[in-house]
Amino acid sequence: MKGILSIQSHVVYGHAGNSSAVFPLQRMGFEVWPLHTVQFSNHTQYKQGWTGKAFPATDLIDLIKGINNIDQLKNCEAVLTGYQGSADQCLAIIDTVKTVKQQNPNAIYICDPVMGDPEKGCIVADGISEYLINDVMPLADVIVPNQFELSQFVGMTINTLDDAVKACQHALTLGPKMVLVKHLHSLSADKFSMMLATKDGCYLAQRPHLAFDNQPVGVGDLISSLFTGGLLKGWTAEQAFEHAHNACYAVLKETHRRGEWELQTIAAQDEIVAPTEIFPITEIK
């Protein structure tokens, strides 16, 4: 039984972290092995707060050891990581990726480098951003940063399309083989923009920007999972990028139609497999 090891946060109510990533991958036909870095009652942007805790890094290490003991890491096709609850968990991620690749050299590592962004209400523990930039992201085959996270990784300010291309190209010299920027907020106010960069070129995807009273949380986790699924299906990076872009829009559109804050992933599940609205990507020359 081949699977995807998804090491992310988990919310009991709603869709963020593994609660956003696991079902789309299952709907695309994959076995998913979710490992939670934290378990919260709900995502952290509720004004009422949240309850729950981060798990010790030793818990992650013990669980990976248990999977290895039953000789299943050789069947891990990909490691997908998102929100980390402590700096020590970053070290556990590094060990996990190395262990998985020892057991299965063909496994790929996809890193969604969630960093603190107080303006968005996203808070991470001390030391996490530094570990992500210096140790975790260079280890990844694929990184899925937003504009802020990409700028932190490459040490560049991003204000224009040309800036974004240069930043992605620089990121490709630091270890990753693919860069998917899950949101480039500087490019357009009325369109949602994403970028893919590989050794073959850079590609831009744009779709209508949906206005929400409260911006849904977990969109980046959804994009990372959709892109991972596409790559593991054997699609080209460009095909996986376009599918992730279109399927994510379909989930957001259903969320907007229902006037909800939490992503309506279940209601839009058929669109995860076959999006009905297609926004072709364009190569940036």
d(CA 261, CA 245): 20
Name the helix (H) or strand (E) containing 40. strand 31-40
- Please, are residues 196 and 171 in contact by the beta-carbon 8 Å criterion? no
Distances (CA, A) of 207 to 22, 36, 66, 114, 194: 24, 32, 43, 23, 9
Instruction: Assess whether pLDDT exceeds 90 at residue 189.
Output: no
Q: Could you report the per-residue pLDDT of 35-52, keeping only the tens digit for each?
A: 999 999 999 889 999 999
pLDDT given for residue 207 in this prediction: 94
The single residue listed with the structure tokens 């309850």 is 51
pLDDT given for residue 187 in this prediction: 83
Residue 27 marked ligand-binding: no
Q: Could you report the per-residue pLDDT of 220-239, keeping only the tens digit for each?
A: 999 999 999 999 999 999 99
Residue 221 marked ligand-binding: yes
pLDDT given for residue 74 in this prediction: 97
Of 180, 178, 181, nearest to 198 (Cα)?
178
Residue 149 marked ligand-binding: yes
Residue 182 marked ligand-binding: yes
Banded pLDDT at 255 (limits 50, 70, 90): very high
pLDDT given for residue 20 in this prediction: 98
Residue 209 marked ligand-binding: yes
More confident residue, 188 or 52: 52
Residue 269 marked ligand-binding: no
Residue 198 marked ligand-binding: no
Residue 44 marked ligand-binding: yes
d(CA 236, CA 230): 8
Q: What is the CA radius of gyration of the chain?
A: 17
**Percentage of residues of the chain with pLDDT beyond 90:** 90
Name the helix (H) or strand (E) containing 229. helix 219-232
Of 112, 94, 97, 83, nearest to 224 (Cα)?
112
Looking at residues 48-64, what average pLDDT do you find? Answer: 96
Instruction: Assess whether pLDDT exceeds 90 at residue 188.
Output: no
Residue 141 marked ligand-binding: no
Q: Could you report the per-residue pLDDT of 72-126, keeping only the tens digit for each?
A: 999 999 999 999 999 999 999 999 999 999 999 999 999 999 986 655 555 677 7
- Provide φ and ψ at 24, rounded to 5°: -55, -40
Residues written for the chain: 285
**Number of neighbouring beta carbons within 10 Å of residue 92:** 23
Long-range contacts of 96-104 (CB under 8 A, 24+ apart): 96/5, 96/7, 96/60, 96/61, 96/64, 97/139, 97/140, 99/64, 99/68, 99/73, 100/5, 100/73, 100/76, 103/68, 103/73, 103/74, 103/76, 104/73, 104/74, 104/75, 104/76, 104/77
Looking at residues 161-184, what average pLDDT do you find? Answer: 97
pLDDT given for residue 73 in this prediction: 97
- Sorted by where each starts, the structural domains of the chain and their CATH numbers stand as 3-284 (3.40.1190.20)
Of 254, 266, 259, 227, nearest to 14 (Cα)?
266
Q: Say if pTM beats, i.e. exceeds, 0.85.
A: yes
d(CA 138, CA 105): 17
